[in-house]
Structure 1
Amino acid sequence: MSESSPAATPLRSFGRFELRALLCKSGRSLIWRVFDPRHGQELLLCMPREKPNSAAALEHWLRMAQAGGRVQHPNVAPLFEAGQVEGWPYAAYDRAFGETLDERLARQSAPLPLDAAGWVAQLLEGLAFAHEAGHAHRDLQLASVLIDANDKVRLMGLEVAQEVFPASVDFSTVTRRAVRESAEEDVLCAGLLLHRILSGRPVLEEPDLLAVVQQMQPIGREMVRLGWETPHPIPDPLRAICNRATDRQLRQRYHLARSFLRALDGWRQAAAHDDGGPIVLLLDKLQRQGHLPTTTTGIHRFTAGSGLEAQHASALSEMVLKDMALSLELLRRVNNALRQAGHGGDTVLNVQRAIQMIGLDGLQQAANALKPWPGPLQPVAAEMLRSVMARVAKAAQVAQALRPAGYDGEVVYLLTIMQNLGRLMLQYHFPEDAQQIRQLMVPPEPTEEIPNPPSLSERAAAYAVLGCDLEALGMAVARHWGLGDELLQMIRRQPLDAPVHAPRTDADTLRLTCSLANELLDALAQPEARRRAGVEVATRRYARALGLGLREVMEALNPGAQRPAASPPAPLRGAPERPAVVTPSPLRERLTGRGES
C-alpha cells in the first residue's frame, strides 16, 4: 500500500476497499478516503503508520480500537468497522458525517474567530468524554476532525495511533499509563489546532501537529504564540486562551480538555450573548450560597431594644462595615427596595443611612440570610478568601485616607470594595480557578533567550481560565442586584493601559480615588524589590488628576508611622493643589442617603 494522488480514483485497493485519496499522512497514522463496494458507500479509513509487531499486539490494537469505538458522544464519530488486512489494522468511519477540517479550511480558509472557537469547543467536548472513559487519541490532526454542513464537529480515530511496545510487555499495564500521558498531548494538539485555524496557516509551517509538538519547548526550542497578522482580529480573551494552550511552560498549559473547554465556552457565551459561561454559573451560585459568608456573630446584641438613636446607628454602622458580606447584603437590600419603590435612579452607599432605612429587623434579616463563615469552602480556600478580603479592606482604608475633602468615608470605602467584587466572587465561588489565575500570573522561569520573562496580567490570566475578566464577574453581580448605571460606572477600575485624566464629575473623582487605592495594594503585593517602584508608578499616574503626592500616598499606606515634623505634604511635581472649598454635590448627597425624602 502506498500514497496515491487524490486525482486518481482509484489507484489501488486495500482488502475490499478501493483507495480514493490519502487525506492525511502524519508520523503516527494515515487517513484514507476509500470506497466500500460491499456497502456501496464512501468511508474514511484510519490506520497506524507502523504495523503491530506481533499477533498479540495486533489483537491488542483491535481490542482497544473497538473499545474506543464504543465511546458514545455527540462529538465522537461512531466506529463503522474495525478490522485488519494482512496484519495491517484499520478503523473505518462513515464519510457521511462530513468533510475533514483540512478539507473545510481548503474551501473556507478564514473562519470567524467565534466559529473557530465553536469548532474546537465541540472537539474538546468529545475529547474530554473520551479521556474520562479511559481512551486517548494520540495523533490529533485537522484530518481527524469531521465537520458537516451544519458545523457539527466529530472526532474520529480514537486509539488508532497506539504506541508500539515490545511483544513481551503487559499491554493492560502500559496502556493505562500511556492513556494518562497521551491525554495532555491531545489537549496540546487541540490548542495547536485552534492556533492553526485562527492564524490561517500551518503552525511553524508544519502540517503535522505532533511534529510541531516535538519542535516546541521544552522538547525543542520553538515558541508557539498567536501572531498579530491574522485573517480576522482576534479578541484579547481568545488570544489569551489560545496562547495558554500552547505555552512554552508545561505548568502554564491546560492539562485537561475540560479546563480548556471551560475557558473557550466562557468566552464564546460572553461574546455571543454578552452574558453566559462562568457568569451564569456565578449567578446560580449566588442564589444557593450567597455572595460571601458572614464573619459576624452575635449581632442580636447590637440590635436589641426598640429605639434607634444616632449613637446606636453609628455603632451598628461601624460593626457592619467590619463584615464585608453583611455590608454588601445590606446595600443590596436597601437599593433593591429603592428600585421597587420607583426610585431606580437613586443609590445609597452609606451603611448608617441604610440601617436607618431598613430598620433593626431588616438588619437582623440581612444577617440571618448570610451563610456562616466559611460557607462551603475548605480550610485552605477559606484562608485564601480571608486574605483577599483583608487586602480589599486595606485598599478601602487607603481610599478613605486619600479621598478629597467633602466625600463621605463610607461611600469611598464601599466603592473600593465593589471595585473588587469580581475578585471576591471568584475566590469564594471558584477557588480552584482563582488558584489557577494566581499561578498563571507567576513569571515563568528565565532562560538564556528570555532572561526577564514577563508574567501574565490578572486580566489575561482570567481570560485564559474563565474566558472573561474579573470585572465582568463583578459587573454581572452588580447588575443582578439592580444597582444603577451611575454606580456601575463608578465600580469600574481605571484600565491600567489607559491614561488618567482629570475628573470632570464627582463620580469620576470617586472612581479614580478608589482605583488608585486598589493599584497601590496591587503594587504592595509584588515582590519586595518591586514594591516601592510600583507605588511610585501608581502615584505618578494619578498625581495630576487627583492632586496627590507621594507623601500623602505613603501616609495613607502607613497611617501609624512616626514622621518628623516638617513642611506640609507636597504633591508630585506638576500635580495641582486640592481645592480648599468644597462645593455641595447632588451625587454625594444621594450616595449618603441625604437626598432621600
Structure 2
Amino acid sequence: MRRFGRFELRALLNKSTRSMLWLVHDSRHGQEMLLAMPRQAPNSEAAMAHWLKTAHAGARVQHPNLAHVIEVGRVEQWPFVAYDRALGETLDERLARQPAPTPLEAADWVCQLLEGLAFAHEAGHAHRDLQSSYLLIDAANKVRLAGLELAQEVFPAGVDFNTVTRRAVRESAEEDVLCVGLLLHRLLSGRAVLEQQDLQAAVQQMQPLGKELVRLGWETPHPIPEPLRAIANRATDRQARQRYHLARSFLRALDGWRTAAAYDQGGPIALLMDKLQRIGHLPASSGKLHRIGQSSSLEGQHASELSSLVLQDMGLSLELLRRVNNALKQQGVTSGGTVLNMQRAIAMLGLNGLQQAARSLKPWPGPLGEVQAALLRSLMTRVHRAGMVAQALRPAGYDGEVVYLITVLQNLGRLLLQYHFADDAQQIRQLMQPGEATEDNPNPQGMSEVAAAYAVLGCDLNALALAVARYWALGEEVMHMMHRQAPDAPVRSAEGDAELLRLTCSLANELIDAQLLPEAKRQPAIELATRRYARVLGLGLRDVLQALHPEQARQDGDAPFRSAGVAIAEASFSAPLPTEPGTLDGDAESMAPRDGAAPLPKASTLRAKLGGKPPEETS
C-alpha cells in the first residue's frame, strides 16, 4: 500500500493540471478521508508558509455548502487539506451511478455550489481549480464544495505574497464562476465539455484564450427549458463581458428558474408579489395627482374629464383597473367581462374609490434613486407614446382608452422590472448590446430581450406581467392581448377582436422601439414593421407615418410626408392625453366613417365586455 505520511493512499479520485484528490485511510484516527493537495509544491519555505496561512484562512470560512476542513498540514515539501469522507461521494462518483440528472436536479446542485462559492468569494477567497470531484454530495442531495484555496498560484521566491494574492483573487473568482458554468453544461449535456474532464483545460480552449465556443447542444438526455438553456449559454458566452462575473448573479438567475419551475409561482415572481404588497406596482407620476384627493375639485366634473385626468398617471390607471376587476371577481360577477375603460371604472368605484386609489400610490419616485427614476420616467414616456400611436392606428369603432391601456399592459413587464428590479433591468440592457467586432466575429449580436431576461431573472418579462395580471383578475382575453407579437414571428391573420387589438398594439410598440434605433436603421425598421402588419391590419406606410408624427400630419394636411427620420417628441405626463373628439364621450360625430373609408363595424361583444357592459346592451 502506497503511503503519504501517515495516510494510506487507496484511490486517486481526481488529477487536474493544478491539484489532486485522493481517497486515503488515516491510520491515526482509523477512518477514511479525502486528501487534496496541489500538483506543484511551493518553491520555498516562505511560499510554504504563505500557502499554509491562506489554506488555514480558507478553512475558517464556515458555510453549509462549504466542506468542513479536518486538517491543514504538510508532508515534507507537499502541503495538503484533509476532509471527512462521510461528507458524501464526489460528483464524479454520483454521475457514474446516475449519469443523467434531470435539469431541476442539476440546477439544485449547482445552486447549492454557488451558495457556498459566493460566500467564499465575498470573504476574499477563491477556489482556483473548481472540478466536479470537489463537489461532495450526500444521500440527502446536500452539496458541499471542497478544495477552497487549494491550488494557489506559485510565485517566485521573495515576492510580496499579500500584494500579488490580493490582485489575483478577483480574476480567480471570475474563473471559478466560469468553471461552474462549464459544470452546468456537463450536467445538462451528459458529457464532458470539449471532451475535457479537466475544466481548467476546457477554459484554456475557450474564447478569448482559445478558439472553441461552448454552447448547450440540442441532443441532451432530457429536454432543456429555454430559460435554463439561456442561463447555461450566458455562463459560457464567447464574449467574456456577457458572462456572469459574480457567483451571486449566477445564483440569482439559476435559483429564479429553479424556484419558478418547482413551485410555479416562486423566484422573481414571488419576490415581485411581495414588492407589490409593500410598495405597489408603480409610483404616482402626475404632478396633478393631488387634485384627485380633493373631492370638491371632482364632484362637478364630467366622467370624460375625470378619465382624462386619470390617464395622465400610468400608476393610477393601473390601480383603478386592479381595484375594479378585483371587486368584480370578489362579487362573483363574470357576465360583464374585464373592465378596460376608465370612465366605466370610475363610475363603478365612485369618487371615494377614486380618491382611495390615488392616496394608495407611493409619491414619485418611490424607493428609486435619481438615475433609476429618470430611466423609469423615460420608459413610461415611451410606453405613453406607444399608446398614442396605437390609438391613431386602431381599427375604426374601437375605444381609444381600451387600445391605450392594452398597449400599456403589453409593456407591464418592462415597467415592473424597471421599478422593482432596476439593477436587473440595467444588466438586461447591457446583455442586449452587441459586443465589439473582432476578426472571428465581425458582426456581433446582443441577446434578445427574452434571452437576456432568462439569463438574469430565470424567467421572461411576460411571465412577470401575466402573474400580476392574473393577480389583478384581468381575465383570459386581456392576458391574451397582453402578449406582444414576437419581432421575428410572422403576422398571418387576425381572427376576432382580441387578436386584432393585440396586433395593433404590438405594431405600435414595435414602431416606438424602431424610433429608438440609430438614425441609419430607423427608417428601414419602420418600413419592415409596416410590411409585417400591413396585410392583416389594412394599414400602409402613410398611416404609420401619420400616427408617428400627428403634428406634421396636421400641418401638411393631405400632402405626402417628406421624411420619417424625425425624433420622438417627448410626451409630458403632466398634460392630458390627446384624444380625438368624442372618443371618450362616445358622441355620434366621432363614430361617423372617415372620408373614403368603409362603414364602421357594429360594436362587438369584446368591446362591450372591456367597457364593463353586459353583452345584451350592445345587441
Post-superposition Cα deviations, 1:135-154, rounded to whole Å, max 9, x if no partner, equal: 11010011111112332211
Structure 1 pair 567–122 and aligned structure 2 pair: CA distance change class (3 A)? closer
Local SS of the residue matching 1:102: helix
Distance 1:181 1:578, change over 3 A: farther
For the residues of structure 2 that align with 1:35 and 1:76, how far apart are their CA atoms?
Answer: 22
Q: Judging changes above 3 Å, is the alpha-carbon distance between structure 1 residues 578 and 56 closer, same or farther for their aligned structure 2 residues?
A: farther
Task: For residue 523 of structure 1, report the CA deviation from its aligned partner.
Answer: 2.1
* Cα distance between partner residues in 2 of 1:81 and 1:589: 75
Cα pair 1:237 1:464 within 8 Å, conserved = yes
Which of 493, 500, 515 aligns to 2:506? It is 515
Q: 43, 46, 69: which one pairs with 2:36?
A: 46
2:203 aligned residue:
213
Q: 1:505-528 CA distances to partner (integer Å, 9 max, x unpaired)?
A: 211111111111112222222232
Is residue 395 from structure 1 mapped to residue 386 from structure 2 by the alignment? yes
How big is the shift at 1:72?
1.6
User: What corresponds to 1:386 in structure 2?
Assistant: 377
**Cα 1:32/1:592, change in 2 over 3 Å:** same
Distance 1:417 1:520 in 2: 14
Unaligned 5+ segments in structure 2 are 562-595
The residue aligned with 1:172 is 162
Aligned-partner residue type, residue 587 of structure 1: L
Deviations 1:412-471 (A, max 9, x none): 000110111110000001111000000000112222222112221000000000000000
Equivalent in the alignment of 2:123: 133
- Separation of aligned partners in 1, 2:330 and 2:295: 28
1:184-223 deviations in Å (ceiling 9; x for gaps)? 1111111111112212222122221112222222222222
C-alpha contact (below 8 Å) 1:395/1:416 kept by paired residues: yes
Give the alignment of 1:13-24 within 5 angstroms.
13-24=3-14
* Residue of 326, 340, 343 corresponding to 1:349: 340
1:592 aligns with 2:582: no
**Residue 72 of structure 1: aligned partner:** 62
Matches within 5 A, 1:231-310: 231-301=221-291, 303-305=294-296, 308=299
Give distance in 1, aligned partners of 2:356 and 2:67.
55
Q: Is the contact between residue 237 and residue 463 of structure 1 (CA under 8 Å) also seen in structure 2? A: yes
Distance 1:488 1:61 in 2: 59
1:145-224 equivalent positions in 2, closer than 5 A: 145-224=135-214
Aligned to 1:448: 439
Residues paired across the two proteins, number: 578
- C-alpha contact (below 8 Å) 2:234/2:244 kept by paired residues: yes
Displacement after TM superposition at 1:239 (Å): 1.2
8 Å Cα contact 1:16/1:37 also seen in 2: yes
Please list the CA deviations of residues 71-111 of structure 1 after superposition, one character each: whole Å capped at 9, or x if unmatched. Answer: 22111111121111012110011112222112222232222
Give yes or no for contact 2:453–2:460 (8 Å, CA) kept in 1: yes
User: Contact 1:344–1:484 (CA<8 Å) still a contact in 2?
Assistant: no
Match of 2:456 among 465, 475, 485: 465
Q: Residue 7 of structure 1 corresponds to which residue in structure 2? A: none
In 2, the alpha carbon distance for the partners of 1:470 and 1:298 equals 30
Alpha-carbon distance in 2 for matches of 1:377, 1:344 = 38
How do residues 74-113 of structure 1 correspond to structure 2 at under 5 angstroms? 74-113=64-103
Residue of structure 1 in register with 2:528 after alignment: 537
- 1:320-367 Cα offsets, whole Å, 9 max, x none, are 111101111111111111112221462111112212221222211111
Report the TM-score when normalising by structure 2. 0.90
Matched residues in 1 for 2:610 and 2:471: separation?
19
Alignment deviations for residues 31-58 of structure 1 (CA, whole Å, 9 cap, x no partner): 1111112222221111011111222222
Is the CA contact (8 Å cut-off) linking 1:404 and 1:578 kept in structure 2?
no
Q: In structure 2, what is the Cα distance between the partners aligned to 1:504 and 1:590?
A: 18
- The counterpart of 1:339, out of the listed 305, 323, 329, is 329
Question: Deviation at 1:171?
Answer: 2.6
Q: Is the 8 A contact 1:299 1:364 kept in 2?
A: no
Q: Tell me, in whole angstroms, the C-alpha distance in 1 between the residues paired with 2:287 and 2:511.
A: 32
Q: Distance in 2 between matches of 1:583 and 1:564?
A: 29
* Counterpart in the other structure of 1:31: 21
Residues 44 and 578 of structure 1: CA distance in aligned 2, closer, same or farther (over 3 Å): farther
Quick one: distance in 1 between partners of 2:29 and 2:456? 47
Q: CA RMSD in A?
A: 2.0
| SS of 2:81 mapped into structure 1 | strand
Pairwise CA distance, 1:275 = 1.6
Which residue of the partner structure matches residue 479 of structure 1? Answer: 470
- SS where residue 33 of structure 2 aligns? strand
Indicate which of 548, 558, 573 corresponds to 1:565: 558
1:580 partnered with 2:599 = yes
Q: Structure 2 counterpart of 1:337, which letter?
A: A
Moved more, 481-490 or 327-336: 481-490
User: Contact (CA 8 Å) 1:126, 1:154: kept in 2 or not?
Assistant: yes
Moved more, 342-351 or 300-309: 300-309
Q: Assess if the C-alpha contact under 8 Å between 2:397 and 2:600 holds in 1.
A: no
C-alpha change, 1:24 and 1:589, in structure 2 (3 Å) is: same
Give secondary structure in 1 for the equivalent of 2:438. coil
How far, CA to CA, are the matches of 1:321 and 1:265 in structure 2?
38
| 2:396 matches 1:405 | yes
Partner secondary structure for residue 302 of structure 2:
helix
Structure 1: gaps of 5 or more residues: 1-9, 569-576
More off after superposition, 203-212 vs 174-183: 174-183
Counterpart of 1:118 (choices 71, 84, 108) is 108
1:579–1:124 CA distance, 2 compared to 1 (3 A): farther
Percent of aligned positions that are identical: 69
Change (3 A) 1:425 1:307: closer
SS, match of residue 230 in structure 1? coil
**More moved, 333-342 vs 436-445:** 333-342
Letter in 2 for 1:452: N
| Contact 1:400 1:412 (C-alpha < 8 Å) held by counterparts | yes
- SS of the residue 2:283 aligns to: coil
Equivalent residue number for residue 487 of structure 2? 496
Q: Give the counterpart letter for 1:163 in structure 2.
A: E
Aligned twin of 2:496? 505
* 8 Å CA contact retained: 1:334, 1:357: yes
Equivalent residue letter for 2:435: P
What letter matches 1:239 in structure 2?
R
Letter in 1 for 2:283: P
Instruction: Using the TM superposition, give the Cα deviation of residue 578 of structure 1 relative to its aligned residue in structure 2, in angstroms.
Output: 7.8
Matched, 1:546 2:569: no
- Distance of 1:500 and 1:256 partners within structure 2: 40
Distance 1:567 1:129, change over 3 A: closer
Cα 1:387/1:207, change in 2 over 3 Å: same
C-alpha change, 1:27 and 1:330, in structure 2 (3 Å) is same
1:564: Cα distance to partner? 6.2
Matched-pair contact (CA < 8 Å) for 1:267–1:277? yes
Residue of structure 2 in register with 1:5 after alignment: none
Structure 2 residue matching 1:158: 3-state secondary structure:
coil
Name 1:375's counterpart in structure 2.
366
8 Å CA contact 1:546–1:578 kept in 2: the answer is: no
Secondary structure of 2:333 counterpart: coil
Structure 1 residues 531-540 or 233-242, which shifts more? Answer: 531-540
Query: Which fold has the larger relative contact order, with Cα–Cα distance below 8 Å and residues 6 or more apart in sequence?
Result: 2
